[in-house]
Amino acid sequence: MTAVLVLNGPNLGRLGSRDPTVYGTGTFADLVGACTALGAELGLQADVRQTDSEAELLGWLHAAADAATPVVLNPAAWTHYSYAVRDAVEMVTAAGVPVIEVHLSNPGAREGFRHRDVVVGAVTGVVAGFGFDSYRLALRAMAGLVTAAAGPTGAGG
Ligand code: DQA
């Protein structure tokens, strides 16, 4: 199984009680369960984490760059203003390691301040607007990227 980090930024630990009309009724524990279950089906060992500390997220991203661990990342509000998160993400992707940005909601369809994404220029791809399915779609895409990186299987690559 390939290890994948599923990293979540501020306030996402409040899923379930935080504005369910936007983020749904599933809790963070439910999200962990959904990601680990689908990950196992896809051959990915999903390590799902959440932090309200930007320094902690930066440390996780540095470790991902050093260990070449693929990342699914919901930067939450940091998406919109954290150049530090953007630069740390770039260290991962510059090392040839995929980072897929996810959002439960579609920030582009919400308040103006959410339209600015300072992280997106450093990631491999983005999935937004599908609730927990944003993570499931990202994990499926990640499984494809990891398989492709492992090389041809003899059945057409
Ligand atoms: C979010 C969207 C952000 O604008 C917001 O600050 C979040 C969650 C999402 O998953 O939809 O905290 O990243």
Alpha carbon of 50 to ligand 1 centroid (Å): 13
Cβ count near 93 (within 10 Å): 16
Task: For 27-65, write each residue's pLDDT tens digit.
Answer: 999 999 999 999 999 999 999 999 999 999 999 999 999
Alpha carbon of 23 to ligand 1 centroid (Å): 8
Given phi > 0 = left and psi -120 to 50 = alpha, else beta, which region is 139? Answer: alpha
Is the CB of residue 114 below 6 angstroms from any atom belonging to ligand 1?
Answer: yes
Residue 151: per-residue pLDDT: 83
Task: For 58-109, write each residue's pLDDT tens digit.
Answer: 999 999 999 999 999 999 999 999 999 999 999 999 999 999 999 999 999 9
59 phi and psi angles, rounded to 5 deg = -60, -40
Radius of gyration of the chain measured on its C-alpha atoms: 15
Tell whether the model's pLDDT for residue 157 goes beyond 60: no
Residue 153: per-residue pLDDT: 67
- What contacts 40, CB < 8 A, 6 or more positions away? 1, 46
Cβ count near 57 (within 10 Å): 26
Alpha carbon of 153 to ligand 1 centroid (Å): 38
- What is the atom index within ligand 1 of the atom nearest the CA of 74? 13
